[in-house]
Amino acid sequence: MYESLKSSLTTWNDTTSDRTKLQHFYIAIATTLLIIAGVIGLLNQSLGQQLLAVAIAAAGIFIVNAVAWALLQSFVLFCLRDTPVALDTSSQKATVAIRKPATRKK
């Protein structure tokens, strides 16, 4: 059991990006807090509602982060991926040629 869990976590760590790991963390925190808020809400209603507010905030952060990364990837990273990379032979630095956005003619 321990070795299976360890190999699963190692595979997850190797195959996912840092952004995806952060998103997994946010949703895990929101889900865990939601469950804890439900259990504590049975004993102490006001404390359960406060924990529920924190869980909703974590879910909100998850959604805002997902939208921000989707916009960044679709508008910025997608355009950079299509541009050619030229190697400057004098300094051995890779430079990325960035296209100017197309403008409409009046």
pLDDT score for 57: 92
- Distance, in Å, from the CA atom of 24 to the CA atom of 69, rounded to the nearest integer, reads 14
pLDDT score for 101: 58
- Distance, in Å, from the CA atom of 88 to the CA atom of 31, rounded to the nearest integer, reads 50
- Stated pTM of the model: 0.62
DSSP SS3 for 91:
coil
pLDDT digits (tens, 9 = 90+) for 42-79: 999 999 999 999 999 999 999 999 999 888 888 776 66
pLDDT score for 13: 86
* Mean predicted lDDT score pLDDT of the chain: 80
The stretch 85-91 carries a mean pLDDT of 56
